[in-house]
C-alpha cells in the first residue's frame, strides 16, 4: 500500500513545515517535505476552512475541521504576516519539587487561533512528550522552546524574507528530501490514528507512511497586516519553534534570550522541541 515510509511528513508552503522538518531532522528522525510549486493565498470567508483549503476527502476534511471547530472566525485585518519577535527566559519552578503544570483550555484555544491566523503556524497530527525545554514568557507562563539556530536580521531586508531564506538553507544543509510541486490530497487513518498521507504529484498519487505523524503548515490568508517591530541591526536572534504543552499547534518565531533571567512584557509564547522518535497523538477529541 505504501510507496515509502518515513518518520515525519511535513506538508505545506508555510515556514512552519520547514521549521518542523528541521526540528525533526535534528532529533534524528527521517523526514520528508512536501511543498506546492506556488505560494497560495487563502481568502477568508465563512466557507473557507482554517486548515487544508482545497482538500475534499471527507475523512480528512472532518478531522481538520474538528480541530478548529471552536475557534472564532477572523477577518484578514486580524492576521499578521510578519514573524513574531519574543523575549524569553529560563523557566524557574516555584519549588524544587516536581509539579504538574495547570491546564488552561481557553489559553490553548487562543493559541490555536494565533497559529492558524499566522503564516508561520504548524499543526502536528500527533502529540506527546516532545522532549521540550521549558522557558518563561513575560506573562509568567511555562512554555516549551525548540531553538533551531541563530540568525541576524537586518530591518532593511525584512525579517520574513530573512527567516524564509534561513530556514530554506537549514533544510538544504541537512539534505532533507523535498518533493516540490506536490500537495496533500488526504490523510490516511486507521482506527482514528493518522498513519500517513496521500500526496498529489505530477506523476500521480504518492502514499507516504508517517510513523510519527504529519506536520501541516498554515497558509497565508489574504493580504493580512504587518506589525512593525523594532529590531536592533545586526543583533542575533534565535529561530524557535513555539508552542504550549498539550497543544498540537506551533509557530515559528524569532526569540531573544533575556540576559537577566526575566522575559520582557511582550513575550507570550515559546517554542516546541521535538525529541527523538517522538510519538504524536492522532484524532482530536469530539464532544
Cα–Cα distance for residue pair 16/41, rounded to 1 Å: 15
Residue 95: pLDDT band by 50, 70, 90 thresholds? low
pLDDT confidence of residue 287: 32
Q: Which three cell numbers stand for residue 202?
A: 505530477
pLDDT confidence of residue 134: 83
pLDDT for 284 beyond 80: no
Residue 262: pLDDT band by 50, 70, 90 thresholds? very low
By C-alpha distance, which of 134, 168, 131 is closest to 149? 168
Residue-wise burial string across 185-205, b where 16 or more C-beta atoms lie within 10 A, e elsewhere:
bbbbbeeeebbbbbbbeeeee
Say which residues have a Cβ less than 8 Å from residue 191's Cβ, sequence separation at least 6. Answer: none
Please write the tens of the pLDDT for every residue from 1-20.
Answer: 899 999 999 999 899 999 99
Please write the tens of the pLDDT for every residue from 216-244.
Answer: 998 766 555 455 455 666 678 999 998 98
Write down the H helix ranges in the chain: 15-26, 58-67, 105-116, 159-173
Domain boundaries, the chain: 4-40+49-83+99-131+148-235
Mean pLDDT estimate for the chain: 79
Residue 157: pLDDT band by 50, 70, 90 thresholds? confident
Q: What is the DSSP secondary-structure string of 228-250?
A: -----TT-EEEEEEEE-TT-SEE
Do 220 and 41 touch, CB atoms closer than 8 A? yes
Cα–Cα distance for residue pair 128/282, rounded to 1 Å: 10
Taking residues 186-202, report their average pLDDT.
95
Phi-psi region of 261 (alpha: psi -120 to 50; beta: other; left: phi over 0): left
Residue 82: pLDDT band by 50, 70, 90 thresholds? confident
Q: How far lies 63's CA from each of 13, 57, 248, 274, 285, in Å? A: 20, 10, 13, 23, 10
Containing 215, the helix (H) or strand (E) segment is: strand 214-217
Four-way CATH pick for 4-40+49-83+99-131+148-235: 3.40.50, 3.10.350, 3.30.450, 3.50.50: 3.50.50
Residue 77: pLDDT band by 50, 70, 90 thresholds? very low
Residue 174: pLDDT band by 50, 70, 90 thresholds? very high
Do 181 and 202 touch, CB atoms closer than 8 A? yes
Q: Which own/partner contact pairs does 178-182 have at CB distance under 8 Å and 24+ positions apart?
A: 178/32, 178/33, 178/34, 178/35, 179/32, 179/33, 179/34, 179/35, 179/206, 180/35, 180/37, 181/35, 181/36, 181/37, 182/34, 182/35, 182/36, 182/206
Q: At which residue does the C-alpha cell 506538508 appear?
A: 11
Say which residues have a Cβ less than 8 Å from residue 207's Cβ, sequence separation at least 6. Answer: 1, 2, 3, 4, 188, 196, 197, 198, 199
pLDDT confidence of residue 175: 96
Q: Are strands 121-124 and 85-90 parallel, antiparallel or unpaired?
A: unpaired
Amino acid at each position: 500500500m505504501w510507496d515509502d515510509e518515513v518518520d515525519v511528513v511535513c506538508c505545506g508552503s508555510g515556514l512552519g513545515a520547514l521549521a518542523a522538518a528541521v526540528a525533526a531532522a535534528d532529533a534524528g528522525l527521517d523526514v520528508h517535505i512536501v511543498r506546492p510549486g506556488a505560494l497560495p493565498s487563502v481568502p477568508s470567508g465563512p466557507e473557507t476552512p482554517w486548515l487544508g483549503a482545497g482538500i475534499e476527502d471527507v475523512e480528512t476534511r472532518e478531522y481538520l475541521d474538528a480541530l478548529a471547530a471552536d475557534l472564532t472566525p477572523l477577518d484578514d485585518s486580524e492576521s499578521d504576516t510578519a514573524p513574531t519577535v519574543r523575549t524569553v527566559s529560563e523557566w524557574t519552578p516555584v519549588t524544587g519539587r516536581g509539579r504538574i503544570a495547570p491546564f488552561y483550555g481557553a489559553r490553548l484555544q487562543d493559541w490555536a487561533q494565533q497559529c492558524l491566523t499566522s503564516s508561520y503556524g504548524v499543526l502536528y497530527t500527533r502529540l506527546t512528550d516532545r522532549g521540550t525545554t521549558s522557558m518563561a514568557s513575560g506573562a509568567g507562563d511555562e512554555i516549551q522552546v525548540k531553538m533551531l539556530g541563530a540568525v541576524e536580521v537586518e530591518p532593511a531586508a525584512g525579517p520574513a524574507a530573512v527567516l524564509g531564506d534561513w530556514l530554506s538553507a537549514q533544510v538544504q544543509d541537512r539534505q532533507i528530501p523535498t518533493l516540490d510541486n506536490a500537495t496533500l490530497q488526504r490523510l490516511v487513518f486507521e482506527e482514528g490514528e493518522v498513519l500517513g498521507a496521500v500526496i498529489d504529484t505530477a506523476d500521480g498519487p504518492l502514499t507516504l507512511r508517517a510513523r510519527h505523524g504529519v506536520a501541516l503548515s498554515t497558509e497565508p490568508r489574504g493580504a493580512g497586516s504587518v506589525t512593525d517591530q523594532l529590531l536592533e541591526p545586526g543583533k542575533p536572534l534565535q529561530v524557535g519553534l513555539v508552542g504550549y504543552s498539550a497543544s498540537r499547534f506551533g509557530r515559528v518565531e524569532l526569540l531573544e534570550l533575556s540576559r537577566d533571567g526575566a522575559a520582557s512584557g511582550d513575550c507570550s509564547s515559546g517554542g516546541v522541541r521535538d525529541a527523538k522518535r517522538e510519538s504524536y497523538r492522532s484524532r482530536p477529541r469530539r464532544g
